[in-house]
Amino acid sequence: MIDLLDRWSVDRPLVLALFVLSLFGIALIYSAGQVYIPNPVTADAWIRQCVWFLIALIAFSMIARVPLRWIEWVAGPAYVVSVVLLAVTLVIGEGRGTATGVKSWLSIGPVGFQPAEVAKLATILALAQLLSARESALMSLRELVAPGSLVALPLALVMLQPDLGTAMAFVGILFAMLYWAATPVWLLMLVASPVLGLFLAYDTRVWSVYILFVIGFLVLYRYKLFLFESVAVVLANFATATLSGPLWNSLAPYQRNRILVYLNPEVDPRGAGYQVIQSKVAVGSGEFWGQGFTSGSQKRLDFLPEQHTDFIFSVVGEELGFVGTTLAILAFGYVLTRLVRLAARAESPFAGLVLLGIFGAWLVHIFVNIGMTVGVVPITGIPLPFVSYGGTFLLMSWVAVAIAVRVAHERA
Amino acid sequence: MSVHQHHLRAQRAMGAYVVTSLILGALVVSFFRIQVLSSEDWVLRAASNRIRTLPVPAPRGTIYDRNGEIIADNVPGYSVTVLPGPIDSVRATLARMSEHMDLPPERIEQIVARLRRFGREVVIDSDADFEVVSALEERRTDFPGIYVDMRPRRRYLLSEAGGHVTGYVGEVTASELATPTFPDSAYDAGMIVGKIGIERQYERALQGQQGIRYVEFDARGRIVGDFAGVETRPAVPGRDLYLNIDMHLQEWVHEIFPDSMSGALVALDPEDGGVLALYSAPGYDPNLFIGGIDDETWALLNNDERKPLFDRAVLGRYAPASTWKLASAGIALDLGVVTPDEVMPEPCTGSWYWGNRSWGCWNRQGHGYNNLAQAIGNSCDVYFYQLGLRVGLGRLIERSTQIGFDKRCGVDLPQESRGEFPDAPAWYERQFGYRPTEGEALNLAIGQGPNAQTPLKMAQFYVALARDGSAPAPSIARDAPVGSGWELDLAPEHIAALREGLRRVTAPGGTAHFGTALEYWDVFGKTGTGQNTLSVRGEAKDHAWFAGLAGPPGEPPEIVVVALVEYGESGGQVAAPLVAKTADFYLRRKYGIPTVQVQTYREHIMTGPVPAWYRERFPQARRVAPEPTPIPPPTLPIGSLIPRDTLPAGGR
């Protein structure tokens, strides 16, 4: 029996942990539907999630058994198809559920799915192929252009939807995989520096210190980069700093509000700050032991925004308390480190890169989703893997698990 | 360097572990701060998030009449309230509600403005129809922030007959809240308070104490239920109030008062000054004001030329005319300048020459030699001119102000007019710019001159005649703090002489006999014909007064009634029957005799033969058919203002 389970799961610790997290998610979705004034849509969400979980497990069982060559073979075409789908989505996509204003869904008959979810996996596979084909590490900015562009294309399409949360997942994928491909950390930091500069530019003095630091680094380690690359980094920094003002002004008021509210939710407690405040009230009133499963008062009274999807972790906080949130975070921590561990043990470079890609995507999802429930991260509509309500998202997460365990246990 | 090198992979894996631990560690720290370190703040915040306090209006005290019958009580009513919320969504909700109830855009803006100003719930309709309530309840989810509750709703059983006594209640205004009458400790915006009349006078007692209800709301402002954790503070009902008013008497007065006429009628209990009936015609129905009077009705009441909202009994001031001669007589007896049997040296020849001018009596035929009672019975002006001279202007003013003709009675109502009367001879200089001569005493003595009194004041004065010369302040509530009355120092024989004068007025041959002769009771009284600004110019008739005392024959009076009929012309024919019918109704009920519609002698002979009791009671009377024209046609002058006729006044 144990043997059978082992064979089915391929990687028992990872799959078992995620199986438990998925059940935990269903329980929370059920709880999220328990409100004083019932809403038929959210009340039955947990049943639909159960069905999707079964579908996801079936998909997992099959994909975890396909030959590795198939996966490698499908990477390129899948990437092309998903980019096309993303482009199509921009035209005929529709908004759904929690984000009606965002065109991120495609419908095929009665079933809808988000091409971005497919694109994440396809991008991971394509990037893993690209990077594993190299013999040496990426040591210069010029060498980063190809992998960077590979990710930038779907990222840009997702940004246009606009879905900032998923776009951030692509960034996570890129950096995690480049890191695993032995790209020097200082090089990654130089790449990231213009983005950091964009935010620091709100205060000229802070930015001035920062740019001096960047230039000093480039001068000190001038032998590591071509001159034009150094110049490009500096120019990019100046460009983003200059653009930060106009960029800020070009933001829609609600987007600006989200950033301001991140800095201080109380500036708009009934508007943009409402969600963070209500979420923090729920989490805080959970205290150490929580108010008990299904009995969170903020949740029951509908104060929690999107409590079965984006803010499901607030339900954890309110009903299961600090004990619950810590255990859940630890569970996610276990899953993430398990991915790294598998990557370190994997015999093929492709496998390690795929695992780190998945790691990067999930890390962003987990950090952003959980972080926003306590105001650590600005609010972006991004679900919590395996826990948030959402059929195709759960399915694609399990497909990712299947690929992860498949590549991790391939004997070269 | 290569991706595939084993030691590098281990190094990179370690880096990934560190990054993961830092990020997840940061999350755990954040949760620790919120859920453990500052959790108390958030728990508190969660409570204030969803628990709101709502006022529970206290049932207002019931108002009973002297026989324990209900004059004003509460019936269940529905009130629709909106809670503060985001202005736009409140506006949208109210707009949706306007499909189900009368809620014009101006009213919505008014409500929104009040929500902004007070930041607390605002009552949209304190007396909603049941259909509206059920429509709102059916679509509860469409109306977030709206709650409907049962509230006691005031009901006035006397309706139009008692509007001026009870007054009415309404929502407290911001300016009222700023006054000490409505201290912050007991009053909040949105409360229903007494606006006028008894409701206002005894507001604090009737109000009770508003309770508090802790209600749990969901995020959309829908009530989930009463919050279990905190004890709701129950409302303390207002104290009941017992009045001296006789409810049936009040209704009777309303019934008998001619619909076409304006005026007032006051009935007092001479024993304690209790107000048995206080009526002002035309009246208004206080029930119209419950739940907020609509603009149309308000305009109708407010623009009505007959001023139905004006309480003539306590606010209207009229020249008291001959009814005031009793005051002159009382003062003269009190001072000892005349004795009851004394005949004035100069006979009445229809006029009297004094101070280089002729002073006329109303009766140009003259009354000859009169003693006090005869002079009262004949209302002889010439007698009273001489009486006034004996008293003298200074003393007349001094004693009149001591009795309180320049003051209020002190009745327990929020508003009362002060009597208009000179408070000193210097008053003339201030008012008119001349030094008064003794001739002013002649005018004052017959009820003329600068003298205007409320019907209530005159009733209080006649209470003194029904008693021993003292008169307590009239009180509407049974245990009202008794205001200081006043006292005329009159010997019993003086009282007897004054009453004898009054008796002559209603005795056979007297001017008010036919309308006041009753089967069971003696009615003594004095007519008055008060000139007013319009009647002086010949544009309208004079005001008709009658002040009467009534009781079982040979017994002290048990009820004092004063009636004033504006432009009624004849005190004897118009005002006196009202007084007699009021007294008859009251005394019949008091003594357990069935009440009847046909009461006075005149009513009897207008509808049938001379009743048997009349011959028994008035054997000396000759059978004389009374003069016709019992009730004059409506003579309301166009454009008359609130009657506040002070000068000049005449007596008959």
pLDDT tens-digit readout, B333-370: 888 899 888 888 888 888 888 888 888 888 888 888 98
pLDDT of residue B231: 65
The partner residue sitting opposite A340, judged by closest CB among B17, B43, B86, is B17
CB contact, 8 Å: B89 with chain A?
no
pTM, to two decimals: 0.69
Q: How many CB atoms lie within 10 A of CB B612?
A: 9
The confidence band for B546, taking pLDDT boundaries of 50, 70 and 90, is: very high
Q: Do B565 and B544 meet the contact criterion of CB atoms below 8 Å apart?
A: yes
Q: Do B134 and B126 meet the contact criterion of CB atoms below 8 Å apart?
A: no
Which of A3-17, A158-172, B421-435, B557-571 has the highest average model confidence (pLDDT)? B557-571
The confidence band for A163, taking pLDDT boundaries of 50, 70 and 90, is: confident
Phi, psi of B390 (to 5 degrees): -65, -40
Are B216 and A287 inside 8 Å of each other by CB?
Answer: no
The confidence band for A56, taking pLDDT boundaries of 50, 70 and 90, is: very high
CA nearest to B531, candidates B440, B641, B448 = B448
What is the DSSP secondary structure assignment for residue A105, as one 8-state letter? B
Residue of A nearest to B9 (CA): A344
The answer to whether residue B647 scores a pLDDT higher than 80 is no
The confidence band for B270, taking pLDDT boundaries of 50, 70 and 90, is: very high
Q: Do B395 and B382 meet the contact criterion of CB atoms below 8 Å apart?
A: no
Cα-Cα end-to-end distance for chain A? 28
pLDDT of residue A390: 87
pLDDT of residue A102: 67
Residue of B nearest to A332 (CA): B24
CA nearest to A167, candidates A104, A107, A108, A112 = A104
What is the DSSP secondary structure assignment for residue B232, as one 8-state letter? -
pLDDT of residue A292: 86
The answer to whether residue A230 scores a pLDDT higher than 70 is yes
Average pLDDT, chain B: 85
Decide: helix, strand or coil at residue B133: helix
The confidence band for A112, taking pLDDT boundaries of 50, 70 and 90, is: confident
Percentage of chain B exceeding pLDDT 90: 36
CB within 8 Å of B439: residues ≥ 6 apart = B354, B355, B357
Give the mean pLDDT of B446-473: 90
Name residue B543's beta-bridge partners. Answer: B530
The confidence band for B636, taking pLDDT boundaries of 50, 70 and 90, is: very low
- What b/e sequence results for B389-412 when a residue is b if at least 16 CB atoms lie within 10 Å of its CB, and e otherwise? bbbebebbbbbbbebbbbbbbbbb
Mutate to test the interface with A, among B4, B8, B20 (most CBs of A within 10 A): B20
Angstroms from B112 CA to nearest CA on chain A: 17
What dihedral angle (degrees, nearest 10) is formed by the CA atoms of B288, B289, B294, B299? Answer: 80
pLDDT of residue B308: 92
Residue of A nearest to B16 (CA): A340
Mutate to test the interface with A, among B1, B2, B3 (most CBs of A within 10 A): B3
pLDDT tens-digit readout, A305-344: 778 788 899 999 999 999 999 999 999 999 999 999 999 9
The reply to whether ipTM tops 0.90 is yes
Tokens of B79: 């009130």
Rounded alpha-carbon distances, angstroms, from residue B613 to B101, B508, B511, B518, B620:
62, 14, 21, 9, 13
Angstroms from A246 CA to nearest CA on chain B: 31
Whole-number Å distance between alpha carbons of A297 and B579: 70
Residue of B nearest to A176 (CA): B16
Q: B32-46, B110-124, B212-226: which has the minimum mean pLDDT? A: B212-226
**CA contacts within 13 A on the Cβ side of B373:** 17
Angstroms from B232 CA to nearest CA on chain A: 20
pLDDT tens-digit readout, B34-59: 999 988 888 888 877 777 778 888 89
Instruction: Write the burial class of residue B265 (CB in 10 Å: 0-12 exposed, 13-18 middle, 19+ buried).
Output: buried
CA nearest to B457, candidates B405, B527, B402, B529 = B405
pLDDT of residue B623: 55
Q: Do B548 and B579 meet the contact criterion of CB atoms below 8 Å apart?
A: yes
The confidence band for B494, taking pLDDT boundaries of 50, 70 and 90, is: confident
Give the mean pLDDT of B216-225: 72
CB contact, 8 Å: B43 with chain A?
yes
Angstroms from A292 CA to nearest CA on chain B: 14
Rounded alpha-carbon distances, angstroms, from residue A339 to A363, A411, B6, B403:
11, 17, 17, 106
Whole-number Å distance between alpha carbons of B411 and A258: 66
β-strand pairing of B241-242 with B63-64: parallel
Mutate to test the interface with B, among A34, A183, A280 (most CBs of B within 10 A): A280
A286 vs B contacts (CB less than 8 Å): 35, 39
The DSSP result for B539-589, as a single string, is SSPPEEEEEEEEESTTS---EEEEEEETT---IIIIIHHHHHHHHHHHHHH
Give the mean pLDDT of B473-492: 79
Angstroms from A361 CA to nearest CA on chain B: 12
pLDDT tens-digit readout, B547-563: 999 999 989 999 999 99
pLDDT tens-digit readout, A122-141: 999 999 999 988 877 788 88
CB within 8 Å of B623: residues ≥ 6 apart = B610
Angstroms from B227 CA to nearest CA on chain A: 12
Place of tokens 């001296």: B244
Question: Higher confidence at residue A252 or residue B584?
Answer: B584
CB contact, 8 Å: B139 with chain A?
no
Q: B residues 176-235 near A, CB within 8 Å?
A: 216-220, 222, 224-225
B222 vs A contacts (CB less than 8 Å): 37
Are B13 and A359 inside 8 Å of each other by CB?
Answer: no
Q: Do A343 and A180 meet the contact criterion of CB atoms below 8 Å apart?
A: yes
Q: Do B528 and B321 meet the contact criterion of CB atoms below 8 Å apart?
A: yes
The partner residue sitting opposite B1, judged by closest CB among A182, A270, A281, is A182
Angstroms from A301 CA to nearest CA on chain B: 4
